[in-house]
Chain A
Amino acid sequence: MITIIDYGLGNLGSILNMLKKIGAQAKISTSKLDIEKADKLILPGVGAFDNGMNQLRERELMDVLNYKAMEEKVPTLGICLGMQLLGNSSEEGTEKGLGWIDAATLKFKFDEQNLHLKVPHMGWNLVNEKKGSVLSKEMYEEPRFYFVHSYHFVCKNPQDELFRSNYGFEFTSAVEKDNIMGVQFHPEKSHKFGMRLLSNFAAI
């Protein structure tokens, strides 16, 4: 069972629905018990970094999440803000992140030639694979995904980077370190590409 963690941020319906369509067992839940029982976790999320961390704390999910991700090492996928929470910190706020991946989230800053670019980065964009991963197994050609974000993830260890994309400069659009994975884009809004990625995650 994949548990999609509901901590009050955004509509999770399309993630669940896409998992259902590919035949995976999944459930949206806010309960510790469902997180405890899960053999995989999805940490979704939209909105501000501090609010995300505060919600996880207020719902007293930190211990069970740390146990599942770090001790039991269940495959865990962060999506959008959920990916940013995997790191240590964000320029968007002052709260500490989950710290499962050694990384910081920074605001988009462009050089002079790219000052015309708007933030958030919103729309479809291509990804380049930095390393092989089960997530990109049998991926379609020229994979593109749908992004909406104003901040980007910066890994301390380049070997944790999974995909890079370009928006004014190259940034990390997906990460993978052992059982911890994160994607900056929305697979649930990236039709066949997202479906392939989620079905690869479900098959781990």
Chain B
Amino acid sequence: MLKTRVIPCLLLKGQGLVKTTKFKDPKYVGDPLNAVRIFNDKEVDELVFLDITATINKKEPNFKLIAEISTECFMPFGYGGGITNTKQIDKLINLGVEKVILNSALHQTPSLIEDAAKLCGSQSIVVSIDVKRNFFGKPEVYTQGGQTKVKASAEEVAKLAESLGAGEIFINSIDKDGTLNGFDIDLIKRVSSAVNVPVVACGGAGKISDFVSAVKDGGASAVSAGSMFVFHGKHKAVLITYPNYGELESFLK
């Protein structure tokens, strides 16, 4: 069995599935339910869905779509986007969402993380942290879909999330998003060495060896990728793919 989880990260915008580059230029890549059906046949052990416009548009999670995803999904999945209260979290868990992912909420209402962890247990609460490096190369944390800068460092945010009861940290590099040219290993290392909970590395994966370095050099417990699983070839034709399980095992066992 794989020791490292390899998680496709799928972005929702409205009813559709998109893929961004550096958190910009969302390109339509298809119907989310269709993507789930394809992943069902590919021995994918976990999926993540992030609604990239819910928070910015001050919208609730799209419960109807999430229920449909849950019904189609023959694997556990996490959901993030537009979550602002425990009532929504309770509803998501009841719909069959295994992990609830919070990001902007940590900065607006930190108590929500605490309440959520009490409500459904730390194992179901993930805090995601989006990071962009400034002109001088210093990593800075952003919320609201990469629009609002936060003063605290990624390490500080991760520690705060852990202390409030988050069971997992999902670290996403805005600079690397959609580039397929490898993870920001230094960033992953900073965060993974700051906390004891599992860290999921996201942003930049283009090949299986990138996963290996995120784990070996970055200290990540799990890895996630978007473009690598939805695009194919140098012209980025849309094609939902996932590496063969045996191949992943040979690299990550």
Contact = CB atoms under 8 A, between A and B. Distances in A.
Pairing of A with B: yes
Interface of A: 10-11, 13-14, 16-18, 118, 120, 122, 124-126, 142, 144, 146, 148, 186, 188-192, 194-195
25 contacts: A10-B94, A10-B96, A11-B96, A13-B67, A14-B70, A14-B73, A14-B96, A16-B71, A17-B72, A120-B123, A122-B98, A122-B123, A122-B124, A124-B1, A124-B45, A146-B75, A146-B76, A188-B74, A189-B74, A189-B98, A191-B74, A191-B75, A192-B41, A194-B74, A195-B74
Interface string B85-125: 00000000011101000000000000000000000010110
B188 interface: no
B179 interface: no
Contact of A11 (B43, B44, B94): B94
Interface residues of B, number: 21
Contact of A142 (B1, B41, B45, B94): B1
B40 interface: yes
Nearest to B68: A13
Contacts of B76: 146, 186, 189
A11 B67 contact: yes
Contacts, number: 59
Contacts of A186: 76
Contacts of B44: 191
B1 A18 contact: no
B70 A11 contact: yes
Interface string B54-81: 0000000000000100111111100000
A11 B75 contact: no
B98 A148 contact: yes
Contacts of B40: 191
Given A10-B94, A18-B74, 15 more contacts: A10-B96, A11-B96, A13-B67, A13-B70, A17-B74, A120-B121, A120-B123, A148-B98, A186-B76, A189-B73, A190-B75, A191-B43, A191-B44, A191-B75, A192-B41
B1 A126 contact: yes
A190 B44 CA distance: 9
A120 B72 CA distance: 25
Contacts of A11: 67, 70-71, 94-96
A122 B78 CA distance: 13
- The list of the 7 closest CB pairs from A to B, nearest first, reads A13-B71, A11-B96, A191-B74, A122-B123, A189-B76, A17-B71, A144-B1
Contacts of B94: 10-11
B123 A118 contact: yes
Given A120-B123, A191-B40, A192-B43, A14 B72 contact: yes
Contacts of A13: 67, 70-71, 96
Contacts of B74: 14, 17-18, 188-191, 194-195
Nearest to B98: A148
A103 B74 CA distance: 29
A35 to B, nearest CB: 22
A200 to B, nearest CB: 16
B78 to A, nearest CB: 12
B1 A189 contact: no
A80 to B, nearest CB: 12
